[in-house]
Amino acid sequence: MSGVSQIRIRPALSGDVAAIVAMLADDALGRGRERIEDPLPSSYFNAFEAVERDRNIRLVVAEDGEGAVVGCLQLCILPGLSSQGASRGLIEDVRVASHCRSRGIGEQLVQWAVGESRAKGCKVVELLTHHTRVDAQRFYERLGFARSHVGMTVRF
Amino acid sequence: MSGVSQIRIRPALSGDVAAIVAMLADDALGRGRERIEDPLPSSYFNAFEAVERDRNIRLVVAEDGEGAVVGCLQLCILPGLSSQGASRGLIEDVRVASHCRSRGIGEQLVQWAVGESRAKGCKVVELLTHHTRVDAQRFYERLGFARSHVGMTVRF
């Protein structure tokens, strides 16, 4: 593939929270859910600390050659009894900065998460993608994911 | 509703692992994935310990009036930055013993998980259900869940 960005995937730091939230908000569904203010609402930083405390959760960012944050992904490794006690990987909050799309950054993030899940002994990696995100579904199918489940949600 | 079973929902103990695995295996999809042996493969007990160690995961069982385990559910409360740093509830491995179905046990388990998620500040509760489990999808819709997402998986 031409035009693939060279990125570095590293654990997110508290200094990355603003860049991550900006990417979460720069999205048709995220726009109405986030609050971009200066300073950011403290709830984001509290959540970041909760993520950091949880050894089964890894929030990572993709950094470009200049050190700018251009993508993010959260991976949860969830122990459970089913499938002979194998853990499950759950991928959440995958975003790529809008000016950096179609350069393989999302693919590298997801491949990282799948590899990490495998290394941790998971037998399955799962994710939910909104039914309107048809492009995302094609993207994940290209990476080996099947549309095997219905994702159901209740919001408060 | 007539015929609703009175159950008690309590944290699963290591002594419940065999009953839980029996329910996981007594299922069209679970049958090929589990190993019912005596003694059970140690991987199940290792997984149980990993679940117990994770403060964000709660594996519960439903106990009937005689103290028999007749259902189970795993709830993960997952911190994350999206939705202004609100946690998400993830419901997994919901099972009801086959001889106890249609008595409201699954409903009580799921309502417990939704209430617990709400109490922990979650703004959304989510779950994946296999696309062939049409009855399950109807069941969750009745409890207020929407078929909002596509659940995608990759298995190793």
Residues 6+ apart with CB under 8 A from A83: A123, A124, B33, B34
Above 50 in pLDDT, residue A137?
yes
Q: How far is B65 from chain A (nearest CA, A)?
A: 25
According to the model, what pLDDT value does residue A31 have?
A: 82
The pLDDT of B83-92, averaged and rounded, is 97
Name the one residue in this structure whose structure tokens are 């078929």: B147
Task: Assess: ipTM above 0.90.
Answer: yes
Q: How far is A88 from chain B (nearest CA, A)?
A: 10
Q: CA separation (Å) from A86 to A7, A29, B48? A: 31, 32, 10
DSSP three-state, residue A64: coil
Taking CA atoms, what residue in A is nearest to B123? A156
Q: In the structure, what pLDDT confidence band is assigned to residue B1 with cuts at 50, 70 and 90?
A: very low
Above 90 in pLDDT, residue A42?
yes
Structure tokens at A24: 């979460």
Q: Chain B contacts of A24, Cβ < 8 Å? A: 81-82
The pLDDT of A111-139, averaged and rounded, is 97
Taking CA atoms, what residue in B is nearest to A124? B155
Distance CA B70, CA B64 (A): 7
Long-range contacts of B67-70 (CB under 8 A, 24+ apart): B68/B19, B69/B16, B69/B19, B69/B20, B69/B23, B69/B97, B70/B5, B70/B7, B70/B96, B70/B97, B70/B100, B70/B105
Mean pLDDT of chain B: 95
No. of helices (H) and no. of strands (E), chain B: 5, 6
Structure tokens at B8: 């008690």
Q: How far is B16 from chain A (nearest CA, A)?
A: 11
Which of B33, B84, B126 comes nearest A35 by C-beta? B84
Over residues A48-75, the pLDDT tens digits come to 999 999 999 999 999 999 999 999 999 9
Is B148 within 8 Å of A156 when comparing Cβ atoms? no
Strands A146-155, B146-155: parallel, antiparallel or unpaired by DSSP? antiparallel
Residues 6+ apart with CB under 8 A from B10: B60, B61, B63
Over residues B15-43, the pLDDT tens digits come to 999 999 999 999 888 888 899 998 999 99
Above 80 in pLDDT, residue A139?
yes
Q: Chain B contacts of A54, Cβ < 8 Å? A: 54, 56, 79
Mutate to test the interface with B, among A31, A48, A153 (most CBs of B within 10 A): A153
Q: Which stretches does DSSP call E strand in chain B? A: 8-11, 57-63, 69-78, 88-96, 124-130, 146-155
Burial A4-24 (b: 16+ CB within 10 A, else e): ebebebeebeeebbebbbbbb
Mean pLDDT of chain A: 95
Strands A88-96, A124-130: parallel, antiparallel or unpaired by DSSP? parallel
Q: Chain A contacts of B85, Cβ < 8 Å? A: 41, 43-48
